[in-house]
Amino acid sequence: PLPLIGNMLSFQWELDQVLLEWKARYGRIFTVWLPIPMVVIGDHKLQQEHVTKQGEVFLAKKNPEQMMKMLSGGLFGLAFEDNSMVKEQRSFARKSFHEVGFGSAALEDTVYNNALEVASRWRTSG
């Protein structure tokens, strides 16, 4: 990575292809500098095992405050706060999503097929 811009010059218009190439070269977990380090988990099972099942551990590692201030004006929302009220809201949201089928195999197939269609449309329009 270069100072101030990180790996941003490495990105082409087909970001998904670049990330897949890096996954093949560097493994299922690698770091991209944008210009601050961002860890990429390029494997669904690893992501599910570590982020989904151990979400509290990952939420405890806050995003860089400067970047969040630049993107959204501060650390806001259920993902970035870490107090008892927010933990209760996250728990409620997780239970509610589970009740409507979030995380089920049928929903995963639907999301996967929609993602393929979006990627296909991006390739044909660009």
User: What pLDDT is attached to residue 33?
Assistant: 79
What pTM did the predictor assign? 0.44
Q: Which residue has the higher pLDDT, 28 or 56?
A: 28
Look at the block and give the residue holding tokens 């992501």: 47
CB 42 within 8 A of CB 30: yes
Tens digit of pLDDT for each residue in 92-126?
Answer: 888 888 777 776 777 778 888 888 999 888 888 76
CA distances from 49 to 6, 62, 63, 107 (A): 29, 19, 20, 18
Please report the DSSP string for 45-70 in residue order.
Answer: HHHIIIIITTHHHHHHSPPPHHHHHH
Using the predicted structure, report yes or no on whether residue 41 has a pLDDT greater than 80: yes
User: What pLDDT is attached to residue 24?
Assistant: 92
> Predicted confidence band at 16 (pLDDT cuts at 50, 70, 90)?
confident
Q: What token pair was written down for 6?
A: 């990180």
> Predicted confidence band at 4 (pLDDT cuts at 50, 70, 90)?
low
At residue 80, the 3 state secondary structure works out as: coil
Using the predicted structure, report yes or no on whether residue 1 has a pLDDT greater than 80: no
CB 31 within 8 A of CB 38: yes
Using the predicted structure, report yes or no on whether residue 62 has a pLDDT greater than 60: no
At residue 121, the 3 state secondary structure works out as: helix
Give me the chain's average pLDDT, please: 75
